[in-house]
Amino acid sequence: MNMSRRRFMGLAAGSGAAALLAGCGIRTAQTAELMASDLPAPKPFQVPLPIPPVKRPSRTDGTTDYYEVQQRETMAQILPGLDTPIMGYDGLFPGPTIESRSGRRTVVRHLNKLAVPIAVHLHGGHTPADSDGYPIDVVLPLNGDPHEWHHDGHLSAGDLSEGSRNYVYPMDQRAATLWYHDHRMDFTGPQVYRGLAGFHLVRDDEEDALPLPRGDREIPLMITDRSFAEDGSLRYPSNDPTLRHEPGVADSHMEGVVGDVMLVNGAPWPVLEVAAVQYRLRILNASNARRYQLALDPQPAGGRPFVQIGGDGGLLPSPIRHETIDIAPAERFDVVVDFSAYAPGQEITLLNRLDSGRMGSVVRFQVTRRERDDARVPDRLADYERLDPARAKVTRVWRFTRGRTGDHLGWAINGRMFDPARMDAQPRLGELEIWRFGTDLHHPVHVHLSPFQVIGRGGRLPGPFDAGWKDTVDVRPAEHVDVAVRFTEYSGRFLMHCHNLEHEDMGMMSAFETV
Ligand code: C2O
Ligand code: CU
Ligand code: CU
């Protein structure tokens, strides 16, 4: 047994008791295992909610906005009095928010100043294959020996860049809340966990014409859970995730990693001061594996406080009111909450009803003042093309289950674990298809390139959280979800996968080639 493996086993043993505990509390709502912190949790509701800075283009021309992002390790101050080493886009967690205009090309040059290869994926982007962050198309570290990585069997088959890469986004898509994150083969879980995630918003005229809350009344909320070691560093099951492919080691946290400190925009249980007016909240679940059921406490009179205006792929045709929001990893819910239902002085907590104790709350809103409010949520929000499943020519069935290749435990789709060289489907561009996702346990399923519409869940109508254009859908244990999808424009290799990042890293991805 080598040194690093022994260290890993030590860590795994240390988390055993916590894992058992987690087993009682969250087994039904989560497919995941708790990674417990080694230090007491910070007191909730002590720090202001950070808002990630909006990045300025380094240059623009008639058609394109150009950005440069440096990926580097920095110290973040997440817990009081402690430094946490993170990997950050521009050294930040969350990374800077990039804002694109629909129809204007965005080019982001990523410079890799980290010690490890990276791949950048724009989640929700309608992106040509060579800029989609295929897991073996990595950017090698700027300051390193590139040959070191050419021996990696997977990577050497990819399209390697040394030090930096230009990602080109045509942005020929409607306004929506996208996000960008790491997608490196086998290491997406640990690299996102250490901080590689940020918002990328697309705006367009249709949405801008609506009288929705805007400016400082439009708030991005990136929800993640993390755990910390005594020295303030992030705790993740292994320092070297490749070890998770070893037989016998693989089963620790293969269910998915959940933490015991709630972070919103990178801060633990933060507070946002609000006026007693409507706010637009762009909620993203960027957690590796945790699902949430969000609710407000106290509930305003009349109930159903979340007015959903958009999903993963932008505006809904008309708003939907919810009492709670069920959100799985990678999903986005764009909601308007009217704080005029509360009086100045009141505190409203965003709860997570899937958990009790401290993971049962997320962020707090403090109503500090009254202000004038001209915003309104119109009954009709956007033009919406409803896909007609009767026109589909092809139906494909994808089964998400536990997997095994030889001694390697992992997760499989249709019985096979991911192989970046194997294309599991060849959808024709422009043709409507029905994809059926079936599960053993919880699996949030994500499709690259084009959004889909949920047409059925468990053989019945779609659920309350399935509305609109989506790119990720939460498939519950022993359930199947049918979606209608039409890939357009770009031919090449793309991915469909489980967005529980530990499942993803342990094989639950499938490559398809659009033709
Ligand atoms: Cu957000 Cu392929 O991932
Ligand atoms: Cu994606
Ligand atoms: Cu999964």
pLDDT in tens, 383-425: 999 999 999 999 999 999 999 888 778 999 999 999 999 999 9
d(CA 267, CA 47): 7
Nearest alpha carbon to residue 145 among 166, 125, 130, 162: 162
Sign of the CA dihedral with 176 first, then 181, 185, and 190 last: negative
Position 28 scores a pLDDT of: 59
Q: Return the CA Rg of the chain.
A: 22
Q: Which atom of ligand 1 is nearest to the CA of 472?
A: 1
CB of 183 closer than 6 angstroms to any ligand 1 atom: yes
Domains and CATH numbers, the chain: 48-209 (2.60.40.420), 389-514 (2.60.40.420)
Listed residue (491, 470, 436, 226) closest to 332, CA to CA: 470
Q: Determine if ligand 1 sits within 6 Å of the CB of residue 332.
A: no
Residue positions counted in the chain: 515
Rounded to 5°, angle at Cα 223 from 220 and 225: 160
Any residues with CB less than 8 A from the CB of 293 and at least 6 apart, and which?
29, 324, 325, 326, 327, 352, 353, 354
Distance from the CA of 183 to the center of ligand 1, in angstroms? 7
pLDDT in tens, 147-159: 888 777 777 889 9
**C-beta 495 within 6 A of ligand 1:** yes
- Which listed ligand is nearest to 124 at the C-alpha? 2
119 lines ligand 1 (CB under 6 A): no
Residues 6+ apart with CB under 8 A from 254: 244, 409, 410, 411, 502, 503, 506
Residue located via tokens 């982001």:
108
Element (H, E) at 70: strand 64-76
Hey, what are 218's tokens? 């439009």
Q: What are phi and psi of 245, to 5 degrees?
A: -85, -5
Q: Please name which of 365, 378, 370, 391 lies closest in space to residue 294, comparing C-alpha atoms.
A: 365
Relative to the CA of 330, which ligand 1 atom is closest? 1
Q: What angle do CA 233, 237, 238 make, to 5 degrees?
A: 90
The number of the ligand 1 atom at minimal distance from the alpha carbon of 181 is: 1
Answer whether 55 contacts ligand 1 (Cβ < 6 A).
Answer: no
Which amino acid residue places its CA nearest to atom 3 of ligand 1? 123
Q: Which atom of ligand 1 is nearest to the CA of 124?
A: 1
At 408 the pLDDT is: 79
CA–CA distance, 332 with 280 (Å, rounded to integer) = 13
Would you say the CB of residue 126 lies under 6 angstroms from ligand 1? no
- Dist CA 418 CA 116 (whole Å): 21
User: Nearest Cα to 358, choosing from 22, 17, 105, 42?
Assistant: 42
Look at residue 20 in the predicted model and tell me its pLDDT: 32
Other Cβ atoms less than 10 A from the Cβ of 352: the count is 24
CA of 302 to the centre of ligand 1 (A): 37
**How many angstroms separate the alpha carbon of residue 367 from the centre of ligand 2?**
36
C-alpha 80 – ligand 2 centre gap (Å): 34
Ligand 2 mean position, distance from CA 446 (Å): 6
Question: What is the Å distance from ligand 2's center to 469 Cα?
Answer: 14
Q: Closest ligand 1 atom to the C-alpha of 179?
A: 1
Q: How far is the CA of 503 from the centre of ligand 3 (A)?
A: 5
Please state whether the predicted TM-score (pTM) of the whole model is above 0.85: yes
231 by Cβ neighbours in 10 Å (0-12 / 13-18 / 19+) ranks as exposed
DSSP characters over 111-165: EE-SSS-B-EEEET----GGGS--TTSPEEPSSS-THHHHTSHHHHTS--EESEE
Structure-token pair, residue 93: 């967690």
How many angstroms separate the CA atoms of 18 and 479, rounded? 29
Q: Report the C-alpha gap between 333 and 431 in whole angstroms.
A: 28
Residue of minimum CA distance from atom 1 in ligand 1: 123
Q: Does ligand 1 lie within 6 Å of residue 497's CB atom?
A: yes
- Apex CA 452: angle with CA 444 and CA 441, to 5°? 20
CA–centroid distance, 32 to ligand 3, in Å, is: 10
Look at residue 209 and give its three-state secondary structure: coil
Please report the DSSP string for 335-385 in residue order: EEEEGGGS-TT-EEEEEETT--GGGGEEEEEEEEE---------S------
Residues of the chain with confidence (pLDDT) below 50:
1-27, 247-250
Other Cβ atoms less than 10 A from the Cβ of 383: the count is 9
Secondary structure class of 391 (helix, strand, coil): helix
Q: Is the CB of residue 425 less than 8 Å from the CB of residue 512?
A: yes
For residue 252, give the 3-state DSSP assignment.
coil
Residue 13 — φ and ψ, nearest 5°?
-65, -40
Q: What angle do CA 484, 452, 121 make, to 5 degrees?
A: 140
Distance CA 451, CA 471 (A): 5
